[in-house]
Structure 1
Amino acid sequence: MIMTYFDFNSASEQTSYDLIPKGTLVRVRMTIRPGGFDDASQGWTGGYATRNDNTGSVYLNCEFVVMEGEFARRKMWSLIGLYSAKGPEWANMGRTFIKAILNSARGVHPGDNSPAAQNARRIGGFADLDGIEFMGKVDWEKDQNGQDKSVIKAAITPDHKEYAALMGGARQPAPAAQTPSAPNAYAQATGRAPNPGRPSWAQ
C-alpha cells in the first residue's frame, strides 16, 4: 500500500493579531454582507438588509477593511440598525451613523446645511453604501463568546482636526446639487416620488 504524505513544514506560521487599540482612527472601506431581506415600504431593497428571525430586528451586516497604515487589511464587523421591536433607538443610532459615514466619505461638514450638503447626505439605496470609504474610529465590544473585538461604530467627519491629514485625497465626490424640479436619487432609482415619511437612506 502506497502512503501519501502532505508536507506542511514550508507553510507560513499563523498570525496572531492583537486588537486594534480603542480610539484609533483608520480609513476603512465598508461592504455590506447581504442578508436577503427586503421591505419596499421602508426602502429596503436589493437584498442588503438582514432580519433576525428570533428578535425581528433588521440591520445591515457590515464589514470594514482598513485601507492603509499599521493595521492595513485588518477587518472588523459591525451591525447598523434599521429596525428593532424594542423601539426606535437602534434605528435612530443607525441613521446617525449612516449620516456621519456620508459626511466623512463625501467631505461634508456636519454643520453644513446647504443644498449641496443636504444632497450629499442622500442615497438612492443601500447599494450606495456598499464599498464606501470613510474615516472611522475603532471601539471595542464583546462578541457572542464574551471576548473583546474591534468594531467601527463612529465615523470621523471634516470638523475633526485629523480628518484632512488622514483622509487625504481619498474623499469620494458628493453628488451634484439638484435643482428643485430634478428627481432625487430615490426617484431615479425606483421611478417613484420621494415619501417624506421614509428614512433618510430611502430617499
Structure 2
Amino acid sequence: MSYDFNDAQPQMMPSGELIPDGTFAKIRMTIRPGGTNGSAPMDAGLLKAASESDAKMLDCEFTVVEGPFVRRKFWQNFTVAGGKVDDKGQSKGWNISKASFRAMVDSALGLNPKDTSDAAKAKRVIQGLKQLDGITFAARIMVEPASDPKYRDQNRLANVVLPDEAQYAAIMKGETVEAEPINAKPRKPATAAAGQNAPAWATDAAPTQAPQQQAGVPWNQQPPAQQQQPTAQVQPAAAGPAWLNG
C-alpha cells in the first residue's frame, strides 16, 4: 500500500499563533450551546448566562474556511439580552450584536445593506438565533490586546465585510486580500466593582472546547432548525423573541 501526499492540505500553524491583525477572510460561525434558554423554542439551551450579571450571550466559534489561514479559529461572545441598558431601557449589548447579525446575513446572502425591498427585508427575519448557526460570511479579523499581562492577546471579529465594499467579492472567492490592521489599544482593566456590573461581552474569558458538529448545507439553504422543547414550558410571543423587535 502506498500513500500519496500530493493532495494534502498545507500544514496548520501552531495553535497559539494569532491570525494577523486586519486580515480579511471568509469565515463560518458556529454557536456553542451554553445551557440557558432563549425566547424562541428552537433556542432552548442555546444561550450562555453571564456569571456576574443578568446578561445572556451567544458563545460563538469562528473558523476560517478559505485562504492562507484556513481552519484557524477564534472565539467571541455576543450579548443578546441583559447587561447594561440605554436611556430607553434596551440592552446596549444586544443593540451592538443585532447590528453585527444583520451584517452577517447581508454578507452571507449578498444583500446590499441599502436594499430595503420587501424581498430583502424578508431575508433578514429569522425565527430564532439558532438559525444563525453555520452562517458563512466575509470578515475582517483583528488582534485585541490583553488588558492584563496575565492573559494573551486574542483574535476578534473586527467587522463584517458587506457586499458594497471593495474587498467583498475577492474574500468570498477565497482570494488573498491585503490586510488593513486595526491597531487596537488594550482595554482599561476593570476594577473589582466595575467587573461585577460589566456586560459579559466585555470579559476576556478563555473559550472552552466546543463539541464537534456535523457539517451542514450552506447556511442560506438550511431548512428551519428542529425545535427543541425547553425544560420549562415557555409560551413564545407570536412575533418571536422580544429582543428581535427592539
TM-score, structure 2 as length reference? 0.62
Corresponding residue to 2:136 among 133, 137, 141: 133
Q: Distance in 2 between matches of 1:54 and 1:43?
A: 26
Structure 2 segments unaligned to the other structure (5+ residues): 1-12, 86-90, 175-217, 229-234
- Following superposition of structure 1 onto structure 2, how do residues 2-41 of structure 1 map, counting pairs within 5 Å? 15=14, 17-40=16-39
Q: Specify whether residues 153 and 50 from structure 1 end up closer, same or farther in structure 2 by C-alpha distance, changes over 3 A only.
A: farther
Alpha-carbon distance in structure 2 between the residues aligned to 1:130 and 1:173: 11
- Report the more deviating stretch, 23-32 or 153-162: 153-162
2 CA distance for matches of 1:137 and 1:28? 9
Q: Name the residue aligned to 1:193.
A: 238
Please tell me whether the aligned partners of residues 31 and 61 of structure 2 are also in contact (alpha carbons under 8 angstroms): yes
SS at structure 1 position matched to 2:47: strand
Instruction: Describe the shift of the 1:27–1:53 C-alpha distance in structure 2 as closer, same or farther (beyond 3 A).
Output: same
In structure 2, the CA distance between the partners of 1:123 and 1:46, relative to structure 1 (3 Å rule), is: same
Partner of 1:168: 173
Task: Give secondary structure in 2 for the equivalent of 1:70.
Answer: coil
Q: Which residue of 2 aligns with 1:54?
A: 52
Partner of 1:119: 122
Partner residue of 1:93? 96
Identity %: 33
Q: Compute the displacement of 1:43 (Å).
A: 7.2
Query: 2:177 maps to which residue?
Result: none
Distance, in Å, in 2 between the alignment partners of 1:72 and 1:39 is 32
Count of aligned pairs: 176
The RMSD of aligned alpha carbons is 3.3
- 1:100-159 per-residue CA deviation (whole Å, 9 max, x = no partner) reads 011111111110000111111111112211111111110122457432111114211101
Distance (whole Å) between structure 1 residues aligned to residue 38 and residue 156 of structure 2:
27
With a CA cutoff of 8 Å and minimum separation of 6, indicate the structure with the bigger relative contact order: 2
**The one of 58, 65, 68 aligned to 1:67:** 65
Structure 1's 162 and 60: CA in aligned 2 closer, same or farther, altered over 3 A? same
Whether the 8 Å contact between 1:78 and 1:153 is mirrored in structure 2 is no
Conserved 8 A contact 2:107-2:160: yes
Which has more strand, going by share of residues? Answer: 1
What SS class does the counterpart of residue 38 from structure 1 fall into?
Answer: coil
Between 95-104 and 82-91, the greater mean CA deviation after superposition? 82-91
Q: Which has the larger radius of gyration?
A: 1
Q: Distance in 2 between matches of 1:84 and 1:71?
A: 35
Amino acid at match of 1:120: K
Q: Is the 8 A contact 2:38 2:46 kept in 1?
A: no
Q: Is the 8 A contact 1:38 1:44 kept in 2?
A: no
SS at match of 1:47: coil
Query: 1:42-85 CA deviation, whole Å, 9 max, x = no partner?
Result: 77823211111322211100000000111000001011111233
Kindly state the Cα deviation for residue 35 of structure 1 after the two structures are TM-superposed: 0.6
Q: Distance in 2 between matches of 1:16 and 1:132?
A: 23
